Amino acid sequence: MSTVVAIDGPAGAGKSTVAKKLAARLNLAYINTGSLYRALALSAVQSGLDLQKPLPQDFLARQKLEYRGETLFLNGRDPGSALRSAECAANASLISKQPAVREFLLPVQRDAARTQWIVMEGRDIGTVIFPDAQVKFFVTASLEERARRRLAQQGEVAAGADLESVIADIRRRDEQDSKRDTAPLRPADDAVMVDTTGLTIEQVVELLIDRCHRSGVPGGDAPKTNGER
């Protein structure tokens, strides 16, 4: 078993918020793998590359992506808020279908769990990166609710965006992420499905913590129940 709590799901489902809170409550490290795809896309744009074409091997070989704690460094620098824009998200989704990109980012993700317990969120953590994770969650919410949440997150949507345009944006990204040939977004067969529509963040976190405790993940406060359910 890998010392990993895997959290996968589509854009805007609230993965980052609950994953961060879950990690804090359990006292585990938190890794956001979307940042890897976003950072690589940012670097490719800065290098003037065409994202519709496979990124050249020599470009990939020059990229240094490294987590220092929870912060991802790209070629020695923290890219900061540049990773959070809607444009960067769309570019990340675009390059994430390239098999060479996924292959390049696989060891970076696996290395993160070598010496510690982690909560890792993404699209293929439970299916490809850590198929033997201690526990796997697939976090979803209705398209409209996801769009509403995205709209409320400053800096994550384009200027002038409204509910309709954010719905269209998320729908496009869902399609792209779940229809690609390599490591498409889908729940692992043994994932716990969590529909967060209508739930508060705290309710979702409690649900996940309870399940983590029952699955033998260490850390945090004592389980609220000790009987089987």
Q: Which stretch binds ligand DC (CB under 6 A): 33-41, 52-60, 70-78, 193-201?
A: 33-41
- 38 touching ligand DC, by CB under 6 A: yes
Residue keyed to tokens 């389980």: 223
Q: Distance (Å, rounded) from C-alpha 74 to C-alpha 39?
A: 7
- Rounded to whole angstroms, the Cα distance separating 81 from 85 reads 7
Q: How far is CA 131 from CA 38, 141, 151, in A?
A: 23, 23, 33
Helix or strand (DSSP H, E) at 71 = strand 71-74
Q: Is 87 within 8 Å of 133 (Cβ atoms)?
A: no
Instruction: Choose between 194 and 213: whose C-beta lies nearer to ligand DC.
Output: 194
> Within 10 Å of residue 193's Cβ, how many Cβ atoms?
11
Return the number of the residue (34 or 79) whose C-beta is nearest ligand DC: 34
Should residue 123 be labelled a site residue for ligand DC when binding is judged by CB under 6 A? yes
Task: State how far the Cα of 179 lies from the Cα of 19, in Å rounded to an integer.
Answer: 25
- Interaction between residue 124 and ligand DC (CB under 6 A): yes
Which residue in the shown chain puts its C-beta closest to ligand DC?
A: 34
Is 169 a binding residue for ligand DC by CB under 6 A? The answer is no
> Binding string to ligand DC for residues 68 to 107, with x set by CB under 6 A, is what?
---------------------x--xx--x-----------
Based on CB atoms, which residue is closest to ligand DC, 38 or 213?
38
The answer to the question of residue 177 lying near ligand DC (CB under 6 A) is: yes
Quote the CA–CA distance of 108 and 128 in Å, as a whole number.
13
CA distance 129 to 109: 7
Q: Give the shortest CB-138-to-ligand DC separation in angstroms.
A: 13
Among 11, 55, 112, 141, binds ligand DC (CB under 6 A): 11
* Cβ 171 to ligand DC shortest distance, Å: 12
The one-letter amino acid at 80: G
- Binding residues for ligand DC, rule: CB under 6 A, are 11, 33-34, 37-38, 89, 92-93, 96, 122-124, 173, 177
